[in-house]
Amino acid sequence: MLKSRSFATIIRKKSQLLHQIRTWFWEQGYLEVQTPLLVFSPAMEETLESISCDGRYLHTSPEFAMKHLLAQGLCKIYQIVPCFRGEEEGRHHSKEFSMLEWYRAGIGTQDLMNESIDVIYSCAKALGVDIADFDCIPTAELLDPNLPEEEWMFRWVDEIEPNLPPSVIVYDYPKWGAALARIRGEKADRFEIYINGLEIGNAFHEELNPSVIRTRWEKGNANRIQKGKSPHPMDEDFLQDISQMPRCSGIAIGLDRLLMALLDITDIKDTHVPNRRES
């Protein structure tokens, strides 16, 4: 843990960050929403690990609940919320962390890239720091898309991420990495944001066919079972909501990581108030 005065400075900076984010979204006409933290199904992606609580789960993100609101007719929504993931501990990972997530109807990933960059620049300005101009690079220019999935993932983390430009958006992932994004040709229509080699955000042009998502979910659960893990419960309400959603794009940004990148903090634990026994 940082010395108390330095830690107090970071907490003040985090407050400034939150204020600036809310100001930006208010000025852009977004509606701030709150959704439940306890859910019946925590995630679809096979790599995400959840934390069970009283017969339900602490959500890994507010995605499912926010998409329910999109299905109900809300078109520009955002949320700042604590999220929880099991088996995530380290300098860049915490079981509890803060997330900014937003969705907008009627836009694709290019418009969402522009919004994301604007949000990040406005946050940097509010904190009095400068960041490099963003590069936008398709993943195929960085790594052979025909590599087997496991080799691609290993080389991405081991070779590509450490050597990315200081501020960069990488897009057009291999289609096996679509998760909840739609497929466009042979690519998943999604992007990720990196600052100084640290992944900050993950964005999708949302897939709206529940049959496609069900198939991906079943495949992910089969892989989890093969690895000795429990499958993620299928959320039938969520699958029904997908068919009612407008065409839209959405992104989740880790606020603790964004603060780390902007203030050159090396450990995510230094961005939030610790449990007393951890201090």
- The CATH number covering residue 158 comes to 3.30.930.10
Q: Is-contact 58 51, C-beta < 8 A?
A: yes
28-67 pLDDT, tens per residue?
999 999 999 999 999 999 999 999 999 999 999 999 999 9
Q: Is-contact 105 75, C-beta < 8 A?
A: yes
| CA separation for the pair 187, 175 (Å, rounded) | 5
Q: What is the domain count for the chain?
A: 1
Question: What mean pLDDT comes out for the span 132-149?
Answer: 96
Q: Is the confidence at residue 82, as pLDDT, over 90?
A: yes
Nearest CA among 249, 207, 209, 242 for reference residue 76: 249
For the chain, the distance separating the N- and C-terminal CA atoms, rounded to the nearest angstrom, is 6
165-187 pLDDT, tens per residue?
999 999 999 999 999 999 999 99
Q: Is-contact 138 220, C-beta < 8 A?
A: no
| CA separation for the pair 255, 9 (Å, rounded) | 16
Amino acid (1-letter code) at residue 222: A
241-276 pLDDT, tens per residue?
999 999 999 999 999 999 999 999 999 989 987 666
The residue with tokens 């993931």 is: 85
Q: Is the confidence at residue 279, as pLDDT, over 90?
A: no
pLDDT for res 4: 46
Residues contacting 119, CB < 8 A, separation 6+: 21, 24, 253
Token pair for residue 54?
Answer: 């009283």
pLDDT for res 53: 92
Give the structural domain span for 33: 4-278
228: left (phi over 0), alpha (psi -120 to 50) or beta: left
The residue with tokens 């995630």 is: 43
Q: Is-contact 271 97, C-beta < 8 A?
A: no
